Amino acid sequence: MESNTADKDIIRYIAGSAEAYFAPDGKRLPVISLKTAASIANSQGISTKEVEITALKQGIVPRRYLRNIGTIGLVGQIKLLQSTVAVVGAGGLGGTVIELLARQGVGHLIIIDNDCFTERDLNRQIMSTEENLGEYKVTVAAKRAGEINSATTVTTFRERLTKENAQKLLGSAQVVADGLDNLPSRLAVEQACRQLAIPYVYASIAGFGGQLMTIFPEDTGLSSVYGSSNTIPGQGIETKIGNPTATPAIIAALQVQEVVKIITGVGKPARNQILLVDARECIIDKIELGR
């Protein structure tokens, strides 16, 4: 009874604080501001995330998500706020994935990385600055996510993912996004995701190009691209042609779209196919893979 009363009080506070917003098409929407959501959360002893979810369930849109709703809807935004996404690696791909997922409104991020920022990261890793060189990437990424979205909680693991610890680190995630830089670690993540029965959004980059594939537990996955040889090299052509500034941003953005599609059910994930992006020639292609 007390819980129901408290819930009704929160709903009443949210409804009473809602403001009118008129969309460009003239449609009127009730919205709630970030400041108001934080005030209600503080006064009621709950999280900002809980306030936002409660508001969305009443058809009241937090202003920060207004540009999301037309694409994924109220239910989609609720699903994102209730979701947990693991990002393995917080560098070029992973850092941008973390940034975008926090802005999209993912409720819980698990960030796994054991590395520190160095000068060679400054050209492409969105979290790196001249001021934070030498700092652990997970520490910087967690702070950044909190600055972007106070409704996003972050769990960090300052360790390297291996076959031995992968299931433990990824166990509470609904989806895993690839921010890695070597194939053996990707294979370890894929194996753990199969065992945990969760989707894995694989990606890699080199030069002007990149590739992406969403792998569900029942899909063929990386073996359809790399085979099952035990002599697979740790790294690829990126060691020769590098990773220029824009490439990880392009591929990371596509990864985030895959994560959003998986969680919300809006759109079709890139399963059983590998998406190939060649920014130098302005070509995007895909290859269908065996199931």
**Structural domains present in the chain:** 2-68 (no CATH), 83-288 (3.40.50.720)
**Which tens digit of pLDDT belongs to each residue from 131-144?**
999 999 999 999 99
Average pLDDT over the chain, rounded to whole?
93
pTM: 0.94
**Which tens digit of pLDDT belongs to each residue from 18-60?**
999 998 888 899 999 999 999 999 999 999 999 999 999 999 9
Question: Beta 28-32 vs 175-178: how paired, if at all?
Answer: unpaired
pLDDT band (50, 70, 90) for residue 2: very low
Question: In which order are the strands placed within the sheet that holds 19-22?
Answer: 19-22, 28-32, 61-62
Distance CA(205)–CA(208), nearest Å, equals 8
Are the C-beta atoms of residues 80 and 56 closer than 8 Å to each other? no
Distance CA(291)–CA(289), nearest Å, equals 6
Are the C-beta atoms of residues 151 and 52 closer than 8 Å to each other? yes
Those residues with Cβ within 8 angstroms of residue 156's Cβ, 6 or more apart along the chain or in another chain: 110, 111, 112, 138, 139, 141, 142
pLDDT of residue 239: 61
Residue matched to tokens 């109220």: 74
